[in-house]
Amino acid sequence: MLKKQRVEFILNKLGELYPAPPIPLKHKDPYTLLVAVLLSAQCTDERVNQVTPALFDIADNPFDMAGVPVETIYQIIRPCGLAPKKSTAISTLSKILVDQYQGAVPEDMAALEQLPGVGHKTASVVMSQAFGQPAFAVDTHIHRLAQRWGLSSGKSVVQTEKDLKRLFPEESWNALHLQIIYYGREFCSARGCDGRVCEICTTCYPKRKKPFITSKA
């Protein structure tokens, strides 16, 4: 199967399986999504969703969060891992939002990436899911599937993002990010599929005989 055919099949298959993929992180606005995505680094969405209700009960906006002691934030988000850095980042970025953006999350990729604890992936998720701007957030899981499906041979998530953006139409990016995540969790997980098990892998590479070894991002 040619790459163009793989792209078309994958796009159609994921569209059939997940026609309206929901955002897995519970939130109510751009600020709570920003905090939730920040917390999700090296942590499962399920764990984040267990932690954020207590955090947002005491502060669900940057004005209130800026007044919460870092230690209080830390005690709530400890189960997420990397809590010392994340608690400081949440406190500091909240103060920056109040001081520089009147409490609003900026609808600008560069401005988001300047916030403490906010990398390119987090900024991409916020731009796409909070503001509806075309962005393609690539994490290690999407990186793995892109390699299994022959969509990218990039050795970093940065290169994989460029490859996927070039292959798929811009209007599909926001949903496709979520669709790949859901498919990976359900059918093509790191241990559940070795490139020869799930429908997309077997359809794209029906003659693959050996487990496909992906390069880590």
Query: What are the residue numbers of the active site?
Result: 121, 139
Report residue 132 as tokens: 């509806």
Contact indicator for 11, 177 with CB cutoff of 8 Å: no
Contact indicator for 87, 73 with CB cutoff of 8 Å: yes
CA distance 125 to 212: 28
Q: Which residues contact 154 (CB under 8 A, 6 or more apart)?
A: 143, 146, 160, 162, 163
CA distance 18 to 41: 24
